[in-house]
Chains A and B, each alone.
Chain A
Amino acid sequence: MKCKTLHKKIIFFLEEELPADEMEQMKYHLSVCNDCNAFAEEMAKMLAVLQTEKAPSVNPFFYTRLKAKIENLSNSKIRYNKNPFFVKILQPALFSVLLIAGIYSGIKIGQPISDRTSYYVDSEQEIIPYLNEMKNETIELFLME
């Protein structure tokens, strides 16, 4: 048996779920291969954790805490039922307002981008004729006046 084959079946070997002949082959391989034997030991320790974790001790006040929780829940339920206006009208209205506000702000955020672009183009066009005025109105003409 190859080491790779053993690695693929080690969990079934440790749980004794393999056929008898395969169990024997695995046992033989483990007796001659130190690396595989070390791995098998580590896997066995790993799986033993499951046994130690079984049936954790339950808190002795489990029922008392549970009872208190149920009472709290029933009290809050009563309080909640007393105010159906909040649940049936106010809550959906609030969500609707938030939704509309979200859509509106989304549209508003989207709009200025195109405006700004056009603003910069316009301003560029405005500056160019101003700079070119120097060509039309040279310094000689200005002095002759």
Chain B
Amino acid sequence: MNESEIIQKLKQGNEKAFRELVEKYQGMVVNTCFGMVHNTEDSEDIAQEVFIEVYRSIENFRADSKLSTWLYRIAVNRSLNFIRDNKRKKWAQSIEDVLKGKKVQLNKFESGNSQNPDSKLEDKQRAEMLHQAIDSLSENQRIAFTLNKYEDLSYKEISEVMELTVSSVESLIHRAKINLQKKLFKCYKKKCI
């Protein structure tokens, strides 16, 4: 079944077409969400929401863009919503912890041990450090960087997803890399790992 056939059959409510769509694009959607939220369970939950939205609003899809572009857009928007909600929850939780007098957990990177022989732990710390650096980017830089690095999308494809010009995407990714570099250098100087 090609893309237009899948869309056609989805609009008719064909369950087999929906299953095919999910199986074809689930990896792509989960990977995009993972690049944004950095958690496997959360990214799968968001990916499910993405497909539910597709299921509900396939009738509104006018095929102006590719199906994958549409899916990327929904995945990115859903991930951003999740991040915003999570921030609010974390903020509320931190206030609750302060009121209850709980000790705030120290950032593990601040007390990281550079002499640790366990390379797996070091890799985990590196991954978390990188995630923190990515999370500190502005929304647009983060989207562009994630699509470029996790999904290997070209600048043109990213510009279609983000509805920006190619040069804007280029600039966003360039600035994202500079900002990441700054963060990671600061961390290196503090011997986070």
Contacts and interface: CB of A to CB of B under 8 A. Distances in A.
Determine if chain A interacts with chain B. Answer: yes
Interface of A: 7-8, 10-12, 15, 39, 42-43, 45-47, 49-50, 53-56, 58-59, 62-63, 65-66, 69-70, 73
Q: Considering the complex of A and B, which 5 residue pairs feature the smallest CB-CB distances, nearest first?
A: A11-B181, A49-B127, A11-B177, A50-B149, A66-B48
B114 to A, nearest CB: 10
29 contacts: A7-B181, A8-B178, A10-B185, A11-B177, A11-B178, A12-B177, A15-B177, A39-B188, A43-B184, A45-B123, A46-B126, A46-B130, A50-B149, A53-B35, A53-B127, A53-B150, A54-B31, A54-B150, A58-B26, A58-B30, A59-B44, A63-B19, A65-B48, A66-B22, A66-B48, A66-B51, A70-B52, A70-B55, A73-B52
Nearest to A54: B150
A58 B27 contact: yes
Contacts of B40: 56
Interface string B115-137: 00000000100110110000000
Interface string B153-193: 00000000000000000000000011011001100100001
B25 to A, nearest CB: 10
Contacts of A42: 188, 193
A15 B123 CA distance: 20
A63 B31 CA distance: 16
Contacts of B27: 55, 58
Interface of B: 19, 22-23, 26-27, 30-31, 34-35, 40, 43-44, 47-48, 51-52, 55, 123, 126-127, 129-130, 149-150, 177-178, 180-181, 184-185, 188, 193
A63 B55 CA distance: 13
A58 to B, nearest CB: 5
Contacts of A55: 27, 31
A43 to B, nearest CB: 6
B34 A53 contact: yes
Contacts of B44: 58-59, 62
Given A56-B40, A70-B52, 14 more contacts: A8-B181, A10-B185, A11-B180, A45-B123, A46-B130, A46-B184, A49-B123, A49-B127, A50-B150, A53-B127, A56-B31, A59-B44, A62-B48, A63-B22
B185 A7 contact: yes
Contacts of A58: 26-27, 30, 44
Contacts of B52: 66, 69-70, 73
Given A12-B177, A50-B149, A59-B44, A39 B126 contact: no
A72 B175 CA distance: 43
Contact of A56 (B30, B126, B180): B30
B53 to A, nearest CB: 11
